[in-house]
Chains A and B, each alone.
Chain A
Amino acid sequence: MTTQKSADDRIALLQGTLDLLILKTLVLGPCHGQGVARSIQSQSEEVFFVDHGSLYLALQRLENKKWISAKWGLSKNNRKARFYSLTAKGREQLVEKTGEWERLTRAMGLILSGNAESSGKEA
């Protein structure tokens, strides 16, 4: 996706997961785009690689949906930056999406780990 050389163990984000990660990151408090990107990358132990273009478009999308709000402010080192914070609606969505995600991963886990057993039975 980018021109950057990519390490083998880096995974491109699944469609739709970026929104959830952004919401989760913003629970800790208002943050600017660069902070969000760093945070996702470091919290995933550098496994996830965030395409910055996609990130900013996702931020815009969430802002349009009124899940997050944004305003220009100053960063710790006195740089101008656009700060995003979670709205009440965003919080609701975070809870909901987290639930959905957990159900999804559980189901995936069940299938992936029980795969051999069930196909053996059928054979």
Chain B
Amino acid sequence: MFKRKRSLDDFAEEIKAHLELEADELKSEGATEEEARRKARVEFGNAQAARERFYLSSRVEWLDNLVRDVRFAFRQLIKNPGFSFAAIAVLALGIGACVAIFAFVDAALIKPLPYAEPQRLVHVTERDVAAPKVNISYLDYLDWKRLNTTLSSLDVFTGWDALLSTPTGAEPVPAERVSAGFFRTLGVAPALGRDFWPGEDSLSAPNVVVITFGFWQRQFGGRDDVIGQTVKLSGVPHIVIGVLPKDFEFALGDSPEIWAAMKPDNDCEKHRDCHDLYAVGRLKDGVSVQTALANMQSIARQLENQYPDTNRDRGASVMLLSNMIVGEIRPILLLLLSGAGLLLLIACTNVSSLLLVRSESRKREMAVRGALGASRGRIARQFVTEGMVLVGGGVAAGLAFAYGAMQILSRLISKQMIARMPFLHGLGLNPHVLLFVGILALVTATVFSITPILHLLSSDIHDGLTEGGRTSAGTLWRRIGGRLVVIELATTMVLLTGAGLLSKSLYRLLHVDVGFQVDHLATLHIRLPGTGFPGDPEQVAFTRRLLNRVESLPGVRAAGVTSVSPVTCACNSDWVRIAGRPYTGNHITVNERDVSEGFFSTLRTKLLSGRYFSDAEDASKPKVVVINHTFARKYFPGEDPVGKRIGDPTLSPSSMKQIVGVVEDFKDGALDDVQEPTAYYPFNQNASSGYVLIVRTSQDEHTVLQTLTAAIHQLNLDVGIEQGTTMSDQINDSQTAYFHRSTAYLVGGFAGLALVLSAVGLYGVIAYSVSQRTREIGVRMALGAQRSSVHRMVLREAAWLAAAGIAIGAVCSLTFGRLLQGLLFGVRAWDVSTLAAVATVLGVSAFFASYIPAHRAASVNPMEALRSE
């Protein structure tokens, strides 16, 4: 159908032959040569028309027109390189930003988790009065697993700081302990070897592990005989039984490389009140999350009645696993997507005004086309084609831009963050993203086709042929263009306000008073090997030696250890009861830290009353505790807590501790956490095999960090050391700071671009308006108007637009800001100073954008303006 069977030349040849044959015949009938030829041609009629009809009959007309329209559109774009470049660049910016952010949204929120039927996977935890999601204890887990009727399986997982024995010494390796059914619950089968068998997580079973693809490649060179081999973890041999698929991920673990069948062999798992596990379950077919939650809550109540000492106020929490994984990043991504969307809106508005200006200047061309017989439909089709070509260019450039932006953005994400968001590995221009691009292209193409068509319809095309078209259409365009600019300015205002609020929030966050001196602090995670340190005394003794060694290093002022680094999370809690008070069954939940004597002096915290504990206070001495100010204020209002005694909820004699001091509050939890009551126990009375070493240095923290590892390994080669960092880096790179910063930077970037685009847009409108009014201005000046008053007149027009944009923008910002509230720290959504600052910035930019055309208008030479017709 699209291929012409017979060429036009062949057809023309046939007509020529006809004319010759006819002439021959006429000659044979007695006509002269000349007469015969003429008569034959006359007889035939319009040969050209016949050829054209033949041409059309054998082609698809619209396709033909399309090809011509596209060619013409390209010629138009090439003829106006300035316009084309501006329009395509602006479009590419808007589309690229949208697509790049959408790719993140797709990877995080749209793509399902890489497990079998992920919509049936739930994250199951306990809950208590203080927090909605807390760990489960092993014994509770066994009961939940046994008693529930809503889950087809329930399995637990917990982090394990394992030490891998290598020929060159111990190497910390991130690992996870899981119950035997864990991978079956997820619906993941190993790529090599087998999964855990039921019962392999019992105490009597041999030690078995499943390793990740990466670990297999790195440690075993990807060899098939890995199955059955032994790895020594924290001094204990484990048999490798399987290798996980390459694309396996589990966002809730700390990117573990080894998965061990969990044996309830540590002390914690023997006690119902020691919570160290998280659970993942699979809903039975047709069971909703709510049903499962109700089921778990009733089991929790049952356990509460059965074990009031340990399970008081312990509820249950059940939520979709996907919500657990992306819950935190969802609002951020949606915010960024709306930001990018607004930017695209501005870009579209901008290009629309450019198109309007151009269609205004092409009025004469359209009028000529109309006069030559082009129907309105045909002209409209030409606009549609031009819109499509423009959008095509914008989309192509935008895709390239988006691809680059995605590469850069994903590279900017720190390794630590990527570990928490493994789903971002799926980032790319996949079918979802391309579909999104298609929709964007369709929408923008529609907008850009309709804009000039509306303009065309709004004016009589024949007007264009008459005097330069400075009639009503010019005014009309100024009105439409003006409105577009108001939209642009308002949108920019919204983006700027968002960026302003987020920046302010980031500033507030990073300037939170953490309560200690942050600079010149280095931190290091220490893991003692399983062998050689059978109990607390050995751990305490080694830690003393370690601290002595570290403190003797050049450049080190002081050193201390703590179970959890400050400014991380309020994640180790303890239940306490104050001796000598009536017990109502309400225990007190406090943060719990095991710290060495030097910890406080290393951080340089402030002692409010009493004393810090001493190094000599170890297991042989009575137990002591230092509490923070919030603890004292909340539970000892109006009295001195020093000398008071606290213990566990049953006040068992072995748990009793005397409060010896109160320390001023400092940040234990994340930057945006509220201050919680905290109890600091002496490490020497509460030792463990893993802790954080904190060193106060007199010189650059980074240089000291480098010497620390070697010094500690001199003491014992099998000690695992990792995550060496400085306190300021740790705070700056913390997840809270990270999310706040990336959001603020990205929205700030969008807002900056928006500001530039809307300033250009305003400039365009005012400049156009001035060019349309040149003669009017000339007349005014000829009649005696001062240059300054012309100047003012133009600026007034711009000021009205800017004021309208800012006013509408301010109202929208308040609505938009409320959506933002959840992401803000220390600043309210209706922060007046931010709004005022943003309005000022926008107003000043608007002034500069309109100053140039105003100046040009004021310098119009009235004679020339009047003569220019």
Contact = CB atoms under 8 A, between A and B. Distances in A.
Interface string A45-83: 000000111001100110010000000000101011110
A81 B433 CA distance: 60
B16 to A, nearest CB: 9
Q: Quick one: which of B17, B42, B58 has the most chain A CB within 10 A?
A: B17
Contacts of B6: 60
Contact of B11 (A2, A3, A34, A60): A60
A38 interface: yes
A33 interface: yes
A52 B45 contact: yes
Nearest to B43: A4
Interface in B252-296: none
Contact of B42 (A1, A4, A61): A4
Contacts of A34: 17-18, 21-22, 25
A3 B49 CA distance: 12
B14 interface: yes
Q: Quick one: which of B5, B18, B22 has the most chain A CB within 10 A?
A: B18
A32 B20 CA distance: 12
A52 B54 contact: no
B8 to A, nearest CB: 11
Contact of A60 (B24, B42, B54): B54
A79 B40 CA distance: 15
Contacts of A77: 21, 24
Interface string B12-30: 0111011011101100000
Given A1-B45, A34-B17, A38-B25, A52 B50 contact: yes
Q: Quick one: which of A34, A57, A80 has the most chain B CB within 10 A?
A: A34
A33 B17 CA distance: 9
Contacts of A56: 11, 14-15, 18, 50, 54
Contacts of A38: 25
Contact of A57 (B5, B42, B43, B57): B57
Contacts of A2: 45-46
B72 interface: no
Given A4-B42, A60-B54, A53 B49 contact: yes
A82 B5 contact: no
A63 to B, nearest CB: 8
B583 interface: no
Contact of A82 (B14, B47, B50, B57): B14
Contacts of A82: 13-14, 17
B248 interface: no
A51 B54 CA distance: 14
Nearest to A1: B45
Contacts of A33: 14, 17-18
B21 A51 contact: no
A80 B17 contact: yes
Interface in B388-444: none
A73 to B, nearest CB: 10
Nearest to B5: A64
Contact of B50 (A3, A35, A57, A61): A57
Interface in A1-26: 1-4
B57 A3 contact: no
Contacts of B15: 56
A120 to B, nearest CB: 45
B307 interface: no
B373 to A, nearest CB: 21
Given A3-B46, A60-B6, A60-B11, A53 B17 contact: no
B54 A57 contact: yes
B11 A53 contact: no
Q: Is the interface of B mostly helix, strand, loop or mixed?
A: helix
Contacts of B44: 52-53
A33 B14 CA distance: 8
Contact of B17 (A4, A37, A81): A81
A79 B21 contact: yes
A118 B49 CA distance: 46
**Which bucket holds chain B's interface residue count?**
20 to 34
Interface in A77-106: 77, 79-82
A79 B24 contact: yes
Interface residues of A, number: 24
Nearest to B39: A4
A61 B54 CA distance: 10
B867 interface: no
A57 to B, nearest CB: 6
A6 to B, nearest CB: 11
B511 interface: no
Contact of A52 (B43, B57, B58): B43
B22 to A, nearest CB: 5
Q: Quick one: which of B11, B24, B44 has the most chain A CB within 10 A?
A: B44
A74 to B, nearest CB: 10
A3 B20 contact: no
Interface string B471-511: 00000000000000000000000000000000000000000
Interface string A98-117: 00000000000000000000
A56 to B, nearest CB: 6
Contacts of B57: 57, 60-61
Nearest to B56: A57
Nearest to A64: B5
A80 B18 CA distance: 9
B74 to A, nearest CB: 33
B53 interface: yes
Given A60-B54, A81-B17, A82-B14, A53 B43 contact: no
A57 B45 contact: no
A81 B16 CA distance: 9
A108 to B, nearest CB: 29
B174 to A, nearest CB: 74
A61 B6 CA distance: 12
Contact of A4 (B11, B20, B45, B54): B45
A33 B6 CA distance: 16
A75 B21 contact: yes
A51 B45 contact: yes
Nearest to A53: B50
A93 to B, nearest CB: 20
Contacts of B20: 79
A53 B24 contact: no
A38 B23 CA distance: 12
A81 B21 contact: yes
Contacts of A52: 18, 43-45, 50
Contacts of A80: 13, 17
B638 to A, nearest CB: 105
Q: Quick one: which of A37, A56, A80 has the most chain B CB within 10 A?
A: A56
Nearest to A75: B21
B2 to A, nearest CB: 14
Nearest to A59: B14
Interface string B41-68: 0111111011001100110000000000
Contacts of B11: 56, 60
Contact of B45 (A3, A61, A75): A3
B17 A32 contact: yes
Contacts of B21: 32, 34-35, 75, 77, 79, 81
B728 to A, nearest CB: 82
Given A60-B54, A77-B24, A53 B45 contact: yes
A82 B42 CA distance: 21
21 contacts: A2-B45, A2-B46, A4-B43, A32-B17, A33-B17, A34-B17, A34-B18, A52-B44, A53-B44, A53-B45, A56-B14, A56-B18, A56-B54, A57-B50, A60-B54, A60-B57, A61-B57, A64-B5, A77-B21, A80-B17, A81-B14
Given A56-B50, A79-B24, 4 more contacts: A3-B45, A57-B50, A57-B54, A81-B18
- 7 closest pairs, A vs B, by CB? A53-B50, A2-B45, A34-B21, A34-B18, A52-B44, A81-B17, A82-B14
Interface of B: 5-6, 11, 13-15, 17-18, 20-22, 24-25, 42-47, 49-50, 53-54, 57-58
